[in-house]
Structure 1
Amino acid sequence: MTDKTPLRIGFVPEHFSTPLHFAQKHYGLDATLIPFPSGTGHMVTAIRAGEIDVGIGLTEGWIAGLGKEEVEGDGGYRLVGTYVETPLCWAISTGANRPDIKSVSSLAGRKIGVSRIGSGSYVMGFVLADQQKWLSTASPYADTVVLHTFEKLREAVNNGDADFFMWEHFTSKKFYDAGEIRRLGEIYTPWSSWKIVASTKLTQGGALDARVKDLFGKLDQGVKHFNENQEEAVEYISTHLGYTEPDAREWLGTVKFPTHTEGVEPQVVAECVAILRKAGVLKKGKGMEPGAMTFTS
């Protein structure tokens, strides 16, 4: 008998969630949408705890979660879909009044603030260190300060608990404009930025749960609606998600959602794992191999 219980879908309540909102509002997506403002790392914990069935989050967070050598059991989830095709622009931020921090190059050996261990903000710290050639030392940073939320990250770089953090550009921008934090630079993910995962309970028997298949169909409709109704998207983002209208319009020109959300390109996963191994986030020969991270029917 097919389970008719609505899926519990974890998502980050930012501008990227707009097609998901449209899928439920206009196309009858029967699901409980559960916001995770603290990001992908929190969703990794939640899906393993059975608190959500599906998660929509950052590629590097999901892959790092499965690639760690200490992962227990079957890892709890598999990559099943692609939500955003374009890379993510991570803004690098410090406190508004931190004269000791002048540039990205001055961040070596400093305290990095992250939302959670294993989150995108954590993983990208190592990618940044790799790009800046700071990985020759035992640790590129003096400390990794776990702060859980974007608000606490902003507080920490102003009170000195952390020296810098990384968060999505447009989510950070209004706080630059308000003078609360200061921008040092940016770094782009070397991969497509958002993936959809499903609990391994929904991938048993070599077949994907029908509710996840339905989700893909509804998301594809939500993406199409997003592309064809950009004024509605701007209105939703600027009135419900806390972005200014100009920032919402600017973001629209930087993002591309896939026409078909089902499926993950194996090459994307393999390349992400290779970079994370180079950056020291994952270790070769340890943890799950790239081919095992993705569900294939």
Structure 2
Amino acid sequence: MKQVNIGGVPEHFNLAWYLTLKDGEYKNEGINLRWHDYYGGTGAMCKALRNKDIDIAVILTEGIVKDIIAGNPSKIVQTFVQTPLIWGIHVAAKSNYKTINDLKGTKAAISRYGSGSHLMAYINAENNQWNLDNDLNFEVIKNLDGAVEGLTNEVADYFLWEKFTTKPLVDNGTFRSVGNCPSPWPCFVIAVREEFIENNETELKTILDIINNTTADFKDIPSIDKTIANRYEQKLEDVQEWLTLTEWSQEVIDKKTIENVQNKLLKLNIIPNKVDYNTLIHKL
């Protein structure tokens, strides 16, 4: 049995992986797929790919594009979630900040440099015509628990994280939402170490076939909204709203999208240069 390590955030987007693992679908094909939760998000997964701790990552598009350009020996093999990620912009419940513009020049909590929360702080700043050199400051807080502590203790002032994941913290009075910042591209892709692609293409195709078969009909799974609400401790109406906003993909990310991501990252000085489509993508 071939052991394969895969990483992702422990969020509702990845429930399809849990369901296919629970049903033993990979083991039936001779693959021992081991899932690893990465609470630190994209930056932590980029590091894990580089260190060969994982072979595959379900990861934010902008984060892995940046890291491949910075030397991560991996390739994007497929889009996983086609729709944008809706990043909620959060402050501590007792904070004096009421609007996004109140946050200009204050300190953003980020999980780590190169993470989605870091990169999207730049997108939010640009959307609001802030000065990217003077109006952005960062405090590394590692994960969502660190953000709770950091904002509550006023170590940082605001935090961008997926809206529905943080909604329970808004509901219970830990955070207050001051707005949203959707990513300007499909949010999650599947990235794989180049060495793994070269040596295990058959197994990789099998893994993708299994997960794609499930995501294609994900919304039709009986009581899937209740399953998500229970597993991720979210309100049923929030899950139902999220399901209407979310579309999975079984396709390779296209050239136009990759061009858009690179143009935006280059403009924000997050990447030093653009690279060819085939430097980032591997078509199986």
**TM-score range relative to shorter protein:** over 0.9
Aligned to 2:282: 295
- The one of 195, 199, 204 equivalent to 2:189 is 195
> Structure 1: which 4+ aligned runs deviate by more than 4 Å?
none
What does 1:94-133 correspond to in 2, within 5 Å? 94-99=91-96, 101-133=97-129
RMSD of aligned alpha carbons? 1.8
CA contact (8 A) 2:73 2:193 kept: yes
Deviation at 1:230, TM superposition (A): 4.7
1:272 aligns with 2:261: yes
The letter for the 1-side match of 2:195 is K
Report how far residue 27 of structure 1 moved. Answer: 6.3
TM alignment of 1:1-80, pairs within 5 A: 4-26=1-23, 28-30=25-27, 31-68=33-70, 71=71, 75-80=72-77
Q: Do the aligned partners of 1:64 and 1:123 also contact (CA within 8 Å) in 2?
A: no
Does 1:248 pair with 2:210?
no
Q: Given residue 102 of structure 1, which amino acid in structure 2 is its aligned partner?
A: K
Name the SS of the counterpart of 2:2 in structure 1: coil
Paired with 2:278 and 2:126, the residues of 1 have a C-alpha distance of 24
Q: CA deviation at 1:41?
A: 1.1
Aligned letter for 1:87?
P
* Equivalent in 187, 198, 202 of residue 210 of structure 1: 202
Does structure 2 retain, via aligned residues, the 8 Å contact 1:23–1:221? no
- Structure 1 residues 13-65: Cα deviation after superposition (integer angstroms, max 9, x where no partner): 10101121222234602411111122111100001101000000111111121
Structure 2 counterpart SS, 1:144: strand
Identity of aligned residues (%): 25
Q: Which residue of 1 aligns with 2:30?
A: none
SS in 2 for 1:7: strand
Q: 1:246 offset after TM fit, Å?
A: 2.2
Structure 2 match to 1:175: 169
Q: Deviations over 1:213-248 (max 9, x none)?
A: 0111001121134232151x2232122222222222
Q: Distance in 1 between matches of 2:133 and 2:39?
A: 32
> What amino acid maps onto 1:76 in structure 2?
P
**C-alpha deviations, 1:197-225, integer Å up to 9, x for none?**
001112338xx621110111001121134
AA aligned to 2:104 is A
> Is the CA contact 1:15–1:237 (under 8 Å) kept in the aligned structure 2?
yes
Counterpart CA distance in 1 for 2:62 and 2:23 is 30
Contact persistence 2:197–2:204 (CA under 8 A): no
Post-superposition shift, 1:289? 4.2
Q: Note closer, same or farther for the CA distance 1:22–1:149 as it changes in structure 2 (3 Å cut).
A: same
Any idea what the Cα deviations from partners look like across 1:248-273, whole Å, max 9, x if unmatched? Answer: 22211110112x25x22122111111
Letter in 1 for 2:190: I
CA shift, 1:98, in A, is 1.2
Q: Does 1:282 align with 2:271?
A: yes
Letter of the structure 2 residue corresponding to residue 103 of structure 1: T
- Residues 230 and 89 (structure 1), Cα distance of their counterparts in 2 relative to 1, 3 Å cut: farther
Query: What is the DSSP-based 3-state SS (H/G/I as helix, E as strand, rest coil) of the residue aligned with 2:170?
Result: helix
| Matched residue SS, 2:138 | strand
How many residues are matched? Answer: 279
Query: Does the 8 A contact of 2:108 with 2:138 survive in 1?
Result: yes
Match of 2:179 among 185, 190, 209: 185
Could you say which residue in structure 1 is the equivalent of 2:248?
Answer: 257
Give the AA of the match of 2:280. M
d(CA) in 2 for partners of 1:290, 1:95: 41
| TM-score normalised by length of structure 2 | 0.92
Task: Tell me the SS of whatever aligns to 2:22.
Answer: helix
Give 1:292 shift. 0.9
